């Protein structure tokens, strides 16, 4: 691997256009105030442009050589897990943790460029003579669900945070997401039946902390990292049969050397209406959602499903992602229904939570209603 600083120098000398575009984690913002402004002050005479969002709580994004750069380790996993809800919360949760250390005002974001795919593939595998850097423990020979050594580490995510120094963007912070299995799915033979080993919360924490510390030690040896601050988040991967994604359960910070102590996080997600005999995290939120659901089904009987993912921090409902499946798709009816959903949400759903309500038929998205920081927005697709 080439040195990151060399890369950055070269890129700043040769590029004629450096664009940053704003990333807004809040998922939903009115960006009418966006401006395209000249960055200036760059001794290398390259044209530097930045776009700044009106939303100061979100990062600007670096486009290297005028291109968005993806992380080479994106999507690499240790084992299969078909739960589609994990990947987005794994990404967005790490960015949320990063904001505690890397201010959106002074850092710009880029997908991780330090860790390579070949390195991470070795790290995700079991430790063995042939693979000494493996972060999952060596097999103990057993294939019995309760006796074997499971694969604890499922996935890694790197996010880079850069700062402008002397007119050039330099890596100034790294965040690492460590996705830990709650259930490890495995086959005893190739293409065979799938078995599972359940991992306790205590094991998740212990193994996660061991892996996080090891990763930070390894990163510190990389030239391009050196002594810059590193954030590590431990993420619990949601099992395949849950209808919500996982959550970060601990995080830690290293200013320059080793990782400090791990702090607990209280993020939880739950499907509404509550399924499988689960207990509601908040019965008042669960009741509120039931009332909302009943109300819209009374007025528009042809709905085939109204469900939600509720996201909590402790017992505070932070956001509600609602999916409504309709059996109708006529323009007048969809438009009228969209308006009705907004009214009903205002009346019945907890007022403090952000809302993301998707109205769809089996075939396609029909409309969306959102509430962000108390402000509603609605949109019907293809209405003109």
Binders in 349-378 for a copy of itself, by CB under 8 A? 354, 356, 358, 364-365, 368, 370, 375-378
Give min distance, CB of 16 to a copy of itself, in A: 12
Nearer to a copy of itself, 29 or 150 (CB): 29
Residues in the chain: 384
- Residue 339: CB atoms within 10 A of its CB come to 14
Q: Which stretch binds a copy of itself (CB under 8 A): 146-154, 208-216, 280-288, 311-319?
A: 311-319
Give min distance, CB of 335 to a copy of itself, in A: 5
With binding defined as CB under 8 A, does residue 159 bind a copy of itself? yes
With binding defined as CB under 8 A, does residue 285 bind a copy of itself? no
Distance CA 199, CA 234 (A): 14
Alpha helices by DSSP H, 158-309: 201-220, 283-299
Q: Which of 121, 143, 290, 339 is close enough to bind a copy of itself by CB under 8 A?
A: 339
126: helix, coil or strand? Answer: strand
Q: Which stretch binds a copy of itself (CB under 8 A): 18-26, 123-131, 234-242, 279-287?
A: 18-26
With binding defined as CB under 8 A, does residue 321 bind a copy of itself? yes
Nearer to a copy of itself, 32 or 200 (CB): 32
Buried b (16+ CB within 10 A) or exposed e, 90-129: bbebbbbbbbebbebeebbbbbbbbbeeebbebbbbebee
With binding defined as CB under 8 A, does residue 335 bind a copy of itself? yes
Nearer to a copy of itself, 54 or 163 (CB): 54
Give min distance, CB of 142 to a copy of itself, in A: 37
With binding defined as CB under 8 A, does residue 26 bind a copy of itself? yes
Nearer to a copy of itself, 26 or 138 (CB): 26
Give min distance, CB of 147 to a copy of itself, in A: 37
Cα separations in angstroms, 224 against 6, 27, 105, 260 = 9, 31, 23, 21
Q: Which stretch binds a copy of itself (CB under 8 A): 7-15, 137-145, 188-196, 335-343?
A: 335-343
Q: Which stretch binds a copy of itself (CB under 8 A): 115-123, 174-182, 207-215, 315-323?
A: 315-323
With binding defined as CB under 8 A, does residue 347 bind a copy of itself? yes
Give min distance, CB of 332 to a copy of itself, in A: 6
Distance CA 235, CA 228 (A): 22
Cα separations in angstroms, 1 against 6, 12, 117, 119, 145 = 11, 19, 12, 11, 40
What are the backbone angles phi and psi of residue 231, rounded to the nearest 5°? Answer: -105, 135
Q: Which of 331, 351, 352, 373 is close enough to bind a copy of itself by CB under 8 A?
A: 331
Q: Which of 18, 19, 124, 288 is close enough to bind a copy of itself by CB under 8 A?
A: 19
DSSP assignment of 189-205 equals STT--EEEEE--HHHHH
Write out the binding residues for a copy of itself, residues 52-91 only, by CB under 8 A.
Answer: 53, 61, 63, 66-68, 70, 74, 87-89, 91
Nearest Cα neighbor of 110 from 76, 158, 40 is 158
- Crossing angle for the helix pair 283-299 and 331-348, nearest 10 degrees? 150
Nearer to a copy of itself, 259 or 359 (CB): 359
- Residue 147: CB atoms within 10 A of its CB come to 10
């Amino acid at each position: 691997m080439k040195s990151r600083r060399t890369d950055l120098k070269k890129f700043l000398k040769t590029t004629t256009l450096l664009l940053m575009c704003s990333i807004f984690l809040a998922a939903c913002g009115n960006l009418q105030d966006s401006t395209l402004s000249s960055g200036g002050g760059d001794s290398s005479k390259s044209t530097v442009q930045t776009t700044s969002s009106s939303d100061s709580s979100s990062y600007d994004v670096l486009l290297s050589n005028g291109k968005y750069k993806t992380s080479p380790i994106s999507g690499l996993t240790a084992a299969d897990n078909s739960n589609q809800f994990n990947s987005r919360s794994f990404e967005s949760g790490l960015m949320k943790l990063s904001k505690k250390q890397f201010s959106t005002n002074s850092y710009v974001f880029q997908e991780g460029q330090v860790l390579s795919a070949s390195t991470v593939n070795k790290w995700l595998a079991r430790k063995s003579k042939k693979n000494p850097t493996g972060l999952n423990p060596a097999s103990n020979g057993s294939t019995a669900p309760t006796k074997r050594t499971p694969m604890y580490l499922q996935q890694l995510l790197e996010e880079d945070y850069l700062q402008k120094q002397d007119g050039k963007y330099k890596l100034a912070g790294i965040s690492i997401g460590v996705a830990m299995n709650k259930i490890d799915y495995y086959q005893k033979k190739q293409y065979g039946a799938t078995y599972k080993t359940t991992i306790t919360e205590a094991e998740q924490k212990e193994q996660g902390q061991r892996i996080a510390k090891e990763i930070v030690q390894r990163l510190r040896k990389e030239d391009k990292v050196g002594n810059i601050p590193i954030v590590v988040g431990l993420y619990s991967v949601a099992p395949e049969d849950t209808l919500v994604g996982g959550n970060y359960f601990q995080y830690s910070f290293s200013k320059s050397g080793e990782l400090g102590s791990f702090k607990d996080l209280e993020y939880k997600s739950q499907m509404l209406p509550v399924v499988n005999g689960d207990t509601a995290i908040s019965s008042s939120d669960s009741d509120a959602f039931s009332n909302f659901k009943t109300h819209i089904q009374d007025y528009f009987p042809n709905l085939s499903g109204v469900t939600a993912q509720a996201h909590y921090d402790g017992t505070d409902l932070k956001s509600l992602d609602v999916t409504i499946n309709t059996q109708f798709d006529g323009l007048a009816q969809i438009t009228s229904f969209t308006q009705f959903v907004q009214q009903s949400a205002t009346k019945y759903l907890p007022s403090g939570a952000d809302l993301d309500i998707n109205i769809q038929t089996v075939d396609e998205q029909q409309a969306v209603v959102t509430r962000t920081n108390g402000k509603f927005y609605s949109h019907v697709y293809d209405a003109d």
